[in-house]
Amino acid sequence: MKTVRKSIASAITTGVIATALSMNSFAVADGKVKLGILADMGGTYADICGKGCVTAAEMAIEDFGGKVLGNKIELVSADSQLKPDIASSIARKWVENEGVDTIGGLVSSAVSGAVSKVNVDNKKITLISGSASNTFTTKTCNPYNVHWTYNVVALANGTVKPMVESGKKNWFFITADYSFGHALESVASKVIKEKGGKVVGHVRAPLGTTDFSSYVLQAQASGADVVALANAGNDTVNALKAATEFGLTEQMDIAGLLVFTQNAQAMDPAVASGMRLTTGFYWDIDDKARDWSQRFEQRHGGIPSMIHAGVYSATTHYLNSVKAVGSDDSDKVIKHMKQTKPDDFFSRNAQLRADGRMVHDMLYVEIKKQSERKNKGDIYNVIKVIPGEEAYNPIQASCNFS
Q: Is the pTM of this model over 0.85?
A: yes
Residues 22-75 pLDDT 10s: 444 447 767 889 999 999 999 989 999 999 999 999 999 999 999 999 999 999
Structural domains of the chain sorted by starting position, each given as residue range(s) with its CATH number in brackets:
32-150+285-360 (3.40.50.2300), 153-279+363-391 (3.40.50.2300)
Task: Indicate the length of the chain as a whole number.
Answer: 402
Contact 290, 132 (CB under 8 A): no
Using 50, 70 and 90 to split pLDDT, how confident is the model at 16? very low
Contact 307, 53 (CB under 8 A): yes
The torsion angle over the Cα atoms of residues 79, 81, 85 and 88, rounded to 10 degrees, is 30
125-128, strands of its sheet edge to edge: 67-68, 71-79, 32-39, 102-105, 125-128, 145-147
Contact 40, 82 (CB under 8 A): yes
Considering only residues 220 and 19, tell me which one the structure prediction assigns the higher pLDDT: 220
User: How far is Cα 124 from Cα 116, in angstroms, rounded to an integer?
Assistant: 9
E strands, 50-151, are 67-68, 71-79, 102-105, 125-128, 145-147
Please tell me the predicted confidence (pLDDT) of residue 31.
82
In this structure, the number of other CB atoms found within 10 A of the CB of residue 107 comes to 30
User: How far is Cα 191 from Cα 51, in angstroms, rounded to an integer?
Assistant: 35
Residues 99-147 pLDDT 10s: 999 999 999 999 999 999 999 999 999 999 999 999 999 999 999 999 9
In this structure, the number of other CB atoms found within 10 A of the CB of residue 138 comes to 18
Identity of the residue numbered 328? D
Contact 191, 157 (CB under 8 A): yes
Using 50, 70 and 90 to split pLDDT, how confident is the model at 233? confident
Q: Which helix (H) or strand (E) holds 193?
A: helix 179-194
- Alpha carbons within 13 angstroms on the beta-carbon side of residue 102 total 28
End-to-end CA distance of the chain: 57
Residue 127: closest CA among 307, 401, 304, 314: 314
Please determine, for residue 185, whether its predicted confidence score (pLDDT) is greater than 90. Answer: yes
Mean of all residue pLDDT scores within the chain: 92
Residues 359-384 pLDDT 10s: 999 999 999 999 999 999 999 999 99
Using 50, 70 and 90 to split pLDDT, how confident is the model at 18? very low
User: How far is Cα 235 from Cα 315, in angstroms, rounded to an integer?
Assistant: 28
Q: State whether the Cα torsion 26-31-33-39 is positive or negative.
A: negative
User: How far is Cα 283 from Cα 19, in angstroms, rounded to an integer?
Assistant: 44
Q: State whether the Cα torsion 111-56-183-260 is positive or negative.
A: negative
* Three-class SS state of 255: strand
How far are the Cα atoms of 83, 186, 316, 395 from residue 182, in angstroms, in the given order?
Answer: 17, 6, 31, 21
Contact 196, 168 (CB under 8 A): no
Please tell me the predicted confidence (pLDDT) of residue 224.
97
Residue 381 CA, chain-centre distance (Å), reads 21
The whole-number average pLDDT for the span 286-291 is 97
Pairing of strands 358-359, 351-352: antiparallel
DSSP bridge pairs for 146: 127
